Amino acid sequence: MPTLSLADAADLASGIPQTWDTMINKQADRDSILGKLTGPDGSKAPIWEKEDLMKIPGDRINFTGYQRLIGAGVSGTTAQQGNEEDVRVWTDVVAVTHRRHATAIDKFALKVTLGASVIRLGQLMGDWFARKTDDDMINQLLNTDTIQSLFGGGKTSRANVAAGDTLDLLEFKRLRTAAQRFGVKPWQESRVGRMNFPVYGCMLSEIDYYALTIDNDFRADMRVAAERGAANPLLSGVLAEIDGTLLYPWAQVSPGDGMYGTFLRPEARLAADINSSTLTITAGPTTAITGVDYWQYFPDSAASHRILIDAEQIDYTGVVGTTPGNSSLTAATRAVGGTVAVAHTAGALITLRNISKVLLFGQGAGCRAWAQRMARTGQVYDYGKEIGVGVDYIYGVKGTERNDATLANCMSLEVWSPNPSTV
């Protein structure tokens, strides 16, 4: 009887193509939303990127820029020497951190399909890396750094945003005008007549994109902007620009793995039924994946936050999602905001009280620093039944700041964002 020849760690290591790492990085750049908006340090791109391979974890990489000249100059017989305007240089510092991720494949089925399995693992890593780097930057801008925020309906805080304060053309124009007055630098300029017209970018959830595109004023503006016909963006569905702002809808829809939402619009699904007095709320699928935090898009600061399940609002405090696999939070108070405590069924949608964020950005909104691009780790571990392969990289992200420590080239708008469907 023939003996089954099984793959081992050495087989996997020798079967990984030399260009495997390069393919992962290229796929991540291609699939990432922000990867398409990245340029070198000091460029007009929305995200500045710098590489310093001499750095190690814990080191800092500097990004520099220059403030505009605002002096009056001299005239007449006034000497220029001694009246020069000083060049004001600002510096943003990005600390780089060593990060790793790994997966494993079944070695019993590996021998015949070694090459295909390794390539497929690279594709999965590239897809993960694209989403991870996008998440890191958006989380940094919206939640870690101090960003200037507006609130829907002219409200003064997130707590006051209520039903009806959705994204419409008026709110969108208010955000753009505020960004201009705040000094957000456009990342493109379009020549209209003889004047340069500033162009910004805007990332928004699929729900807010829907709310904007069904707004009657928005649709009227689109009709004015383009003639009826095949090229009309209102009819073709290609709604890429409005009021000099390019729109980038960003949806994170679960393909069945139980992960929902983005940092623009936090979402999760209830993992198990709860009654009207349950205080431990678990998110995710019925069978959770090990090491996954299904609350990762929800705020995890010590301040009180409010979630919505069905029609009930629930306050929670403390920290959630600080360790992998921590997929439950403790409710501080059930039935707040005039709602009633009721039972909820597994699979119910959980949101941050239907609040989402719209991010308008200009050039140099954020910085991304690399001391090492994603590469295959030196060790390939044999776990017995499975063979593991990992990747690591050294990088960090940071938003560019003004002298007052607020973000210089982006601004957010928080709006009411109810799900328009049952999906």
Q: Across residues 294-311, what is the average pLDDT?
A: 87
Distance, in Å, from the CA atom of 367 to the CA atom of 372, rounded to the nearest integer, reads 15
Would you state the pLDDT for residue 290? 78
Q: What are the tens digits of pLDDT across the range 364-396?
A: 999 999 999 988 876 555 555 556 677 899 999
Would you state the pLDDT for residue 253? 73
Would you state the pLDDT for residue 238? 47
Distance, in Å, from the CA atom of 122 to the CA atom of 374, rounded to the nearest integer, reads 11
Does the structure show a pLDDT above 90 at 64? no
Q: What are the tens digits of pLDDT across the range 116-125?
A: 667 777 888 8
The DSSP bridge pattern shows strands 97-106 and 312-316 to be unpaired
Residue with the bigger pLDDT between 77 and 204: it is 204
* Mean pLDDT, all residues of the chain: 84
Q: Across residues 21-28, what is the average pLDDT?
A: 87
Structure tokens belonging to residue 228: 């009826």
Q: Are 356 and 264 in contact (CB under 8 A)?
A: yes
Does the structure show a pLDDT above 80 at 9? no
Per-residue b/e over 37-73, b at no fewer than 16 CB within 10 Å? bbeebeeebbbbbbbbeebeeebebebebeeeeeeee
Q: What is the Cβ-side half-sphere exposure of residue 351, based on CA atoms within 13 angstroms? A: 17
Would you state the pLDDT for residue 230? 46
- pLDDT class of 142 with cuts at 50, 70, 90: very high
Does the structure show a pLDDT above 60 at 72? yes
Q: Are 205 and 416 in contact (CB under 8 A)?
A: no
Of the chain, the end-to-end C-alpha distance in Å amounts to: 53
Q: Across residues 102-109, what is the average pLDDT?
A: 65
- pLDDT class of 244 with cuts at 50, 70, 90: confident
Distance of CA 288 to the CA centre of its chain: 23
Share of the chain above pLDDT 90, in %: 48
State the virtual CA torsion across 339, 342, 345, 349 in degrees, nearest 10: 10
Residue with the bigger pLDDT between 348 and 13: it is 348
Q: Across residues 86-115, what is the average pLDDT?
A: 75
Does the structure show a pLDDT above 70 at 16? no
- pLDDT class of 319 with cuts at 50, 70, 90: low
Would you state the pLDDT for residue 112? 47
pTM attached to this predicted model = 0.87
Q: Across residues 299-325, what is the average pLDDT?
A: 79
Q: Across residues 168-182, what is the average pLDDT?
A: 95
Strands (E) located in 147-226? 149-151, 188-192, 195-205
Does the structure show a pLDDT above 60 at 7? no
Of the ranges 1-10, 217-226, 397-406, which is most confident?
Answer: 397-406
Least confident residue range of 55-59, 325-329, 346-350, 418-422: 325-329
Would you state the pLDDT for residue 256? 83
Q: What are the tens digits of pLDDT across the range 154-167?
A: 999 999 999 999 99
- pLDDT class of 13 with cuts at 50, 70, 90: low
Distance, in Å, from the CA atom of 153 to the CA atom of 131, rounded to the nearest integer, reads 31
